Amino acid sequence: MKNSAEIWNVVDEKRKPYIELSDRIWGMPELNFHEVRSAAEHAAQLEREGFRVETGVGGLPTAVMGEAGEGGPVIAILGEYDALPELSQEAGVAEHRPLPGQGAGHGCGHNLLGAGAMLAAAAVKDWLAARGMKGRVRYYGCPAEEGGAGKAFMVKEGAFKDVDIAISWHPAAFASVTEPVSLANTTIDFEFTGRSSHAAAAPHLGRSALDAIELMNVGVNYMREHMPSDARIHYAYLDAGGIAPNVVQGKAKVRYVVRAPEVAEVHALLARVGRIAEGAALMTETSVTSKVVSAMSNLLANLPLEDAMQRNFDRLGPPPFDAEDMAFARQMQATVTRQDVETAFRRAGLPVTDVPLCTTIAPKSAPGPKMMGSTDVGDVSWAVPTVQARGATYTIGTPGHSWQLTAHGKSPLAHKGMVHVAKAMAGVAVDVLSDSALLEQAKADFRERLERSPYTPLLPDDAKPAFDMC
């Protein structure tokens, strides 16, 4: 109890440069693996704090790491700073107003995610130093969460191999422990090669790669009826073979994302999708090659750490939103549907109310529909005991990856939610550092889960980060 009050004070005292860091990152939205300026800003702040800084972590040029302290357990706090395409938006206004000349925007709140995680790490650093205690805290700035699976590559390169526990968070409508439910996924490109020809003069000489993709998609769409109902498959054309209808398309490329609750199910579905691609190639007399672009595992639970996080949240209470925050949130809520709002309450396991911001900590293991997305924190959770929080940084009902989410990014309410969740994360870190029994319980829970189901990474051994993706 004493520990938590002290560490929360340290977080409060240190918050200003981190709110500024978050706002600067909001203003320089950069996509998957192109987060050059954002990573440099994070490295510079780590230097100012006196962390020992490493760049290019895990072979990723835009990954950074700062470490402080000596000996003892290693606590990793993970942040992100990548943005999303097409989500540029003016800050603090409740209408869709993209910024001129800027396509990308922080529509997932990763500007807050990185700065809030580093704030927690910096507070733990000062707390350790003030006590002269053994223990190390690290901030990991992890690139390309939005499709590049940055952390999965960092795990593959051993970036977390001497870490004892990992803590992270994500912006959300409600403050809560993140339930360890996410979908494992693989992003894979299929490239078909046929033979180009004049579509009118010599159609019989052409073999269409575009036909092959269309037949493949039909095959996969028929497969949907015969796959687990909680699996997901999506596709997008990367190259439809050109824009001339009178040329038989000699090359074409499609990107598939295959998701399922367990890694083994993704492996099985990928094999089926691959056979359908081969069938399409057979039907069209084309050939097909495939390449995994990125892959993420599902999240592995860790009960002792989740309970520690819940205790911190329960003691903290909800973020200190004021009347102005509520007024802004009411304006933002008017831009979404009633259904968006009700779904958000249901997902958090809370009764629907008219209050537009989080005023209570959402219960752990709430009944109701679970998250059906994916996160590359999944792979970290199979490498070290991991726990995540949700920080209340936006209006209840705000859709993920939306202009509304970008619009919240520099608001006072987002700053409050970020500082609040930094306290919960720093609280868990000091609980683990000052209670060796908790650390042992977290490790035992992790070992038991891995014994029951060993880690089989979805990334092939020869997979390389897709630095050219955006």
Q: Which residues pair with 184 in a beta bridge?
A: 260
Q: How far is the CB of 35 from Zn ion (least distance, A)?
A: 13
112 or 210: whose CB is closer to Zn ion?
112
Q: How far is the CB of 145 from Zn ion (least distance, A)?
A: 6
User: SS in 3 state form for the chain?
Assistant: CHHHHHHHHHHHHHHHHHHHHHHHHHCCCCCCCCCHHHHHHHHHHHHHHCCEEEECHHHCCCCEEEEEEECCCEEEEEEECCCECCCCCCCCCCCCCCCCCCCCECCCCHHHHHHHHHHHHHHHHHHHHHHCCCEEEEEEEECCCCCCCHHHHHHHCCCCCCCCEEEEEEEECCCEECCCCCCEEEEEEEEEECECCECCCCHHHCECHHHHHHHHHHHHHHHHHHCCCCCEEEEEEEECCCCCCCECCCEEEEEEEEEECCHHHHHHHHHHHHHHHHHHHHHHCCEEEEEEEEEECCCCCCHHHHHHHHHHHHHHCCCCCCHHHHHHHHHHHCCCCHHHHHHHHHHCCCCCCCCCCCCCCCCCCCCCCCCCCCCCHHHHHHHCCEEEEEEECCCCCCCCCCHHHHHHCCCHHHHHHHHHHHHHHHHHHHHHHHCHHHHHHHHHHHHHHHHHCCCCCCCCCCCCCCCCCC
Question: What's the rounded Cα separation, in Å, for the pair 426 and 193?
Answer: 53
108 or 292: whose CB is closer to Zn ion?
108
60 or 308: whose CB is closer to Zn ion?
60
84 or 260: whose CB is closer to Zn ion?
84
Residue whose Cβ sits closest to Zn ion: 108
212 or 348: whose CB is closer to Zn ion?
348
108 or 418: whose CB is closer to Zn ion?
108
11 or 108: whose CB is closer to Zn ion?
108
Q: How far is the CB of 212 from Zn ion (least distance, A)?
A: 34
Tokens of 470: 């955006």
Q: Which of 100, 133, 115 is nearest to 41 (CA)?
A: 115
Residues that bind Zn ion (CB under 5 A): 108
113 or 276: whose CB is closer to Zn ion?
113
Q: How far is the CB of 146 from Zn ion (least distance, A)?
A: 7
Matching residue, tokens 């990723």: 60
Q: How far is the CB of 375 from Zn ion (least distance, A)?
A: 7
Q: How far is the CB of 91 from Zn ion (least distance, A)?
A: 18
Q: How far is the CB of 2 from Zn ion (least distance, A)?
A: 34
108 or 344: whose CB is closer to Zn ion?
108
Q: How far is the CB of 108 from Zn ion (least distance, A)?
A: 3
Q: Which residues pair with 292 in a beta bridge?
A: 188
Q: How far is the CB of 395 from Zn ion (least distance, A)?
A: 17
Tokens of 388: 């995540």
Q: How far is the CB of 84 from Zn ion (least distance, A)?
A: 8
108 or 281: whose CB is closer to Zn ion?
108
